[in-house]
A and B are shown apart, each in its own frame.
Chain A
Amino acid sequence: MAEGLVIVGGSYAALHMAQGARENGYGEAIRLISDEPWLPYQRPPLSKGFLAGKIERDALALKGEAFYRDNGIEVLLETRVSAIDRQARTVTTAAGANLRYDGLGLALGARPRLLKIAGADLDGVFYLRSLADTLALRERLARPLSIVVIGGGFIGLEVAASLATLGHRVSVVEALERLMARVLPPVLSDFMAQMHRGRGVEVRLSAGVQEIKGDGAGRVASVLCSDGSELAADIVVAGIGVVPETGLAAAAGLACRDGILVDDAARTADPAIVAAGDCVRYPSAFTPDPCRLESVQNASDQGRAAGAALAGKPQAYRAVPWFWSDQYECKLQMAGLSPGHDRLALRGAMAGGRFSLFYFRAGRLVAVDTVNRPGEHLLGRKLLAAGASLTPEQAADESFDLKALLAA
């Protein structure tokens, strides 16, 4: 046992794997291999505060250099892994180097789903995933522009909010009939649409995109919608979902199904290999079937569990999933997983812009979404973790003390 750990990835899951291994007493070498040029950094601000210029680059680092030094974590940047040899227990880099491992952590993340329409390769079409993406977009924002955002999900709407706040003319084109349809109920989708429209953003729903037209010199000029209408565009930002990075794992013979399959302690079927984060599908107490989550929380908590497994101290990962999105002055926070709910209760008044939605399935609380009520978000996470009994009527009654459910 002298080769140590190799962790492939350079973001939340990778960092937390390394930290989780050390916290559980792992004493051999740890090497973290990232294809990016920067140490692990915060991603959520890339579509929010960092895009809007409110946060500067040196504030994005997840840990200072001292952390890696003090914890004996060697980071190899700008290094791409091209293959895993499970028999030999080596990974091969694109430059041809072979690194041996005793334990391997895969934190491969996900990549943006690409537009498959004519004009998708024109200059001025952007995706947002990495710091490099946001830096490239930021460089183009010096003057007021017409910007078309394709996709009305988390990334699309955060980008729309950030850019509208900066004074750009923004349109959002969403293929489904409402915004954030994958994660929000209609009542919240409508709330979000109204908010964006109130800020001057043109929100087009049930709208397909046919083609991105160029100006004849290779640059974006407009977006042609399926209904024949055309939106002038200097910049197009596409936020149409991500695809989990499973290629490396699948090529090594690890089972994948829209995500690398792991157990509840983040272990693959190979006892030497764990995986965590956006690239993973795992059995969750919060969904009937194994699920794949795209979030900081999942990457961090599952990464910790994966690190513990690498240290020989596996622990079940059962944390309540949570997510957030900041758009304008709206802080939307989600705890638990609401899809599949059969009842929902509103706590507070939507018109006031501060309220919560409690979701129930078969009489049990399954999720809590809050708007500008971060304290109730924390409370919601605790209620879900405790499996607290709560009725929709109690949830809707603001005089009912939710905290009392935890004390009992």
Chain B
Amino acid sequence: MVIYQLKDGSERRVDVPAGHSVMLGAVQNDLPGIDAECGGCCACGTCHVYVDPAHYGRLPAVEAMEDDLLSGVAAGRQATSRLSCQITMTPALDGLVVRMPERQG
């Protein structure tokens, strides 16, 4: 399960299957706040999320391409910024909390 904190302050809990990305979980459940224009190939920077600081350390490290793209996200990069298309769900990530940024484009 992933807990998405939406821009209006509400929270949505979604069962995202292992192997699917956190981006896909949001898009296929029609959660507002993630655009994912490129569909998840780390090309557009519109699936940006802020990972809850308490959970950030559970994620695998940011790879070079994602790091480069994060430098250009619309809402401004913070210490726990990630692209949700690059976070693949595993049982170990159950309960992950992510917050939608102010804007994606």
Please state if B72 and A374 are interface contacts (CB–CB under 8 Å). yes
- Our pick among B24, B43, B73 for the contact of A331 (Cβ within 8 Å) is B43
Interface size class of A (residues with CB under 8 A): 20 to 34
Given known A374-B72, A375-B71, A378-B69, contact A63–B41 (CB-CB < 8 A): no
Instruction: Looking at the assembled complex, report how far the CB atom of B20 sits from the nearest CB atom of chain A, in whole angstroms.
Output: 6
Residue A117 at the chain B interface, CB threshold 8 Å: no
Please state if B72 and A44 are interface contacts (CB–CB under 8 Å). no
Which residue of B is nearest A71, CB measured?
A: B30
Please state if B30 and A64 are interface contacts (CB–CB under 8 Å). yes
Question: How far, in angstroms, from A64 to B14 measured CA to CA in the complex?
Answer: 13
Residue B39 at the chain A interface, CB threshold 8 Å: yes
Question: How far, in angstroms, from A297 to B40 measured CA to CA in the complex?
Answer: 14
Interface size class of B (residues with CB under 8 A): 20 to 34
Question: How far, in angstroms, from A326 to B38 measured CA to CA in the complex?
Answer: 12
- Our pick among A44, A64, A374 for the contact of B39 (Cβ within 8 Å) is A44
Instruction: Looking at the assembled complex, report how far the CB atom of B85 sits from the nearest CB atom of chain A, in whole angstroms.
Output: 11
Question: How far, in angstroms, from A56 to B30 measured CA to CA in the complex?
Answer: 20
- Our pick among A44, A64, A376, A378 for the contact of B29 (Cβ within 8 Å) is A64
Instruction: Looking at the assembled complex, report how far the CB atom of A46 sits from the nearest CB atom of chain B, in whole angstroms.
Output: 11
Chain A residues whose CB sits within 8 angstroms of the CB of B43 once the complex forms: 324, 326, 331, 333, 374, 377
Please state if A374 and B68 are interface contacts (CB–CB under 8 Å). yes
Residue A362 at the chain B interface, CB threshold 8 Å: no
Please state if A374 and B42 are interface contacts (CB–CB under 8 Å). yes
Residue B27 at the chain A interface, CB threshold 8 Å: yes
Please state if A296 and B30 are interface contacts (CB–CB under 8 Å). no
Residue B28 at the chain A interface, CB threshold 8 Å: yes
Instruction: Looking at the assembled complex, report how far the CB atom of B48 sits from the nearest CB atom of chain A, in whole angstroms.
Output: 11
Residue B60 at the chain A interface, CB threshold 8 Å: no
Binding site for A on B (CB under 8 A): 19-21, 24, 27-30, 37-45, 65, 68-73
| 12 A-B residue pairings within 8 Å (CB atoms) | A44-B38, A45-B41, A59-B21, A70-B30, A297-B37, A300-B37, A324-B41, A326-B41, A331-B43, A374-B45, A378-B45, A378-B69
Smallest CB-CB A-B distances: 10 pairs: A378-B72, A64-B28, A375-B72, A374-B69, A375-B71, A375-B68, A67-B30, A42-B39, A324-B43, A375-B69
